[in-house]
Each structure stands twice: as structure tokens, then as C-alpha cells.
Structure 1
Amino acid sequence: IDACELDQTGLKDGQTWRCGVIARSFLRKMIDGQHVRCEIIDQDRYRRLVGQCFIGDADVGLAMVNAGLAEAMLRYLPSSHPISLVEYGEAENRARGNGLGIWSAEIESPHRYRRAKSSKMP
């Protein structure tokens, strides 16, 4: 998944909407005091580990996508992996169609936001 950066904002109903803070708050409430188990799926081109995390049987990333607080990063899901590409895609489409979270605001895609921010650094 790809969620807003902590300092990232957008516009919602003409007001500044702190999408990064909201996404972090949602995640904190979900995992607070819980045992989180992560399984490594891949490594990206920057050598960062890509994984899927669970609380019990609940997929933490899928919950974020369902809430509209993250985009599904389908390119990291190999077709042979038990995570269903269809499930993540459908979750994002539902959130988008229902105008939830990031889909209810004017925000820059998190990966574009990071790219623009890193190009401004000295």
C-alpha cells in the first residue's frame, strides 16, 4: 500500500486536510496493543523490504485501503502470492467510488508527493 506521508496535506471541503496524520491515527488505533505479524513479499528497487502485515488474520494494509487511507500498490503483488490482486483492486475501487479518505479530497498521490519533495532537497 501507499499512504500519505506524515506531513502531507490536501484540500477537503475547502479546508486543509492532514491526510498523513489521519492515516497514521487510523493505523495507530488499529494496531494499538496488538501483536502485528509481517511477512516479507519482495524488495523494491531501493532495496526496501515490501511486506504484508496482519493482526491475527486481518490484513492491516487491506484495512487501510478499504478505509480510503492508502492506495493499493498492485505492482508489488506477484500473481502467485496468496494476497489477491483482485481483492486489493476492488477495495481501492470501492473506497474511490464511495469517496472515502484520500478519494474525498484533493491530494497528490503519495509517491508523487515524495518524488516532488525529494527533488526540492539540497
Structure 2
Amino acid sequence: MLVTADVHGPVRVIDADTLDVGGVRVRLHAIDAPEMDQTCVTEHGAAFACGRWVTDQVRARFEGRMATCARVDMDRHGRTVAKCHVEGVDIGEEVVSAGWAFAYRRYGMDYDLDEKAAYVADRGLHGFRLQSPAQFRQTRAKGRIPPDPGCRIKGNISKNGQIFHVPGQDFYERTGINEARGERWFCSEAQAVQAGWRPARR
């Protein structure tokens, strides 16, 4: 049930499911979009920065527009969770319909049919292979499970330099990848070597 406290103001897009509206940080209700640093894989197997791409699409559509948001809840990060409209257009509905985000059914079925229609039409993210944003967040927090099952090689940085570990090696399971430190996941040994990493000895 909607709480009767509205937020009004111009939109500043943080990412595809998070906005600042009139200075208030708003998480759009019942949708989930890729994180800014999340990548997808094209049908040809190429990595694609889909998190940044969907953010750019939402920014082009809604940045600077005047929005009214009806608060639904507060999340654990202290953000207002809300349904927002611009000139009668439900932002969440449009974002999911365009394939820039997914229906977050855990929190509501509001956009279930919109996502299904986007999937059938192969719109936006539905043309790529990717983890669900929730799985990506969980993986990133742990740093030990590859975000893409096809790119399982761990490019670790230690006092011994840039070393990559492949599944089955002694230190593979215990090695965590921290992308903020410049560590990386690789899809092949050749890719790792080309990027400047050397293979682990065991």
C-alpha cells in the first residue's frame, strides 16, 4: 500500500533504477537494473558494458524532467522506495518495457507483464546474456564466483605481481577478485596473458 508522502522535483539519474528527485535519493519500486559496472555478453561472445548502457538510456529519457514519486517504503540503505511518474508516464513501467531493467518480483508484480513483453520482443537487455543484477551483487560481494560462467579465470594482483588462476589450481577457490583494486575476470588464458597477467605455477 502506498504511503501518502510524495517526492517532487527534477530527475537526476544515478543508474537505471535509482534517481535523485528534488534532492531525495529514490530507488524505483519493483524493478532491478544491472549495476553500473556490470557487463553482459553479446550473441557473438563479446563483453558489453550493459550497466552503463542502460543508465545512459534512462538518463537520455528522463534526466532533468519533473517527476512526482509516491513513496512505498524505505530500503536498508536509507533510500526512499517509490513509484515515480513524469507527465503521467510510470518511469518503472517504461524502463522495464524498454528492456533496460527487469521486474523485481520479490518486491512486487507491478511490471511482470511489461518484462514478459520486452522479453518476447527481444528488447534491450533481453538481447544479451547476463546474470540477474541480484546475483551479480552477491557475486561481487564475495569475489570468488565468476559473474559470467564463461569467464572463470581469476586475474589476481599480489606482492608477486599480476597472476591468473584457472579452475582446478591450488589457490583458485581461495582467491577472491576485487575489481576496485584492478583485479579482473578473464574468459581465456590467452586473454589474461595479453592483458599482462602470468599463469600461477600451481
Structure 1 position 91 matched with structure 2 position 114 = yes
Gaps of 5+ in 2: 1-30, 144-177, 179-202
Which is helix-richer, 1 or 2? 1
Structure number, greater radius of gyration: 2
Aligned to 1:76: 107
The correspondence of residues 91-110 of structure 1 with structure 2, limited to 5 A, is 91-110=114-133
Structure 1 position 12 matched with structure 2 position 80 = no
Q: What percent identity do the matched residue pairs reach?
A: 30
Distance 1:94 1:61 in 2: 14
Moved more, 14-23 or 44-53: 44-53
- How far off is 1:119 after superposition? 1.7
Distance 1:32 1:49 in 2: 18
Gaps of 5+ in 1: 78-84
Contact 1:11 1:105 in 2 (8 A): yes
Q: Under a length normalisation based on structure 2, what TM-score does the superposition of the two structures give?
A: 0.51
- How far off is 1:37 after superposition? 2.0
Which is strand-richer, 1 or 2? 2
Q: CA RMSD in A?
A: 1.8
Q: Under a length normalisation based on structure 1, what TM-score does the superposition of the two structures give?
A: 0.82
Task: Choose from 21, 25, 35 the match for 2:66.
Answer: 35
Higher relative contact order (CA 8 A, sep 6+): 1
Paired positions, count: 113
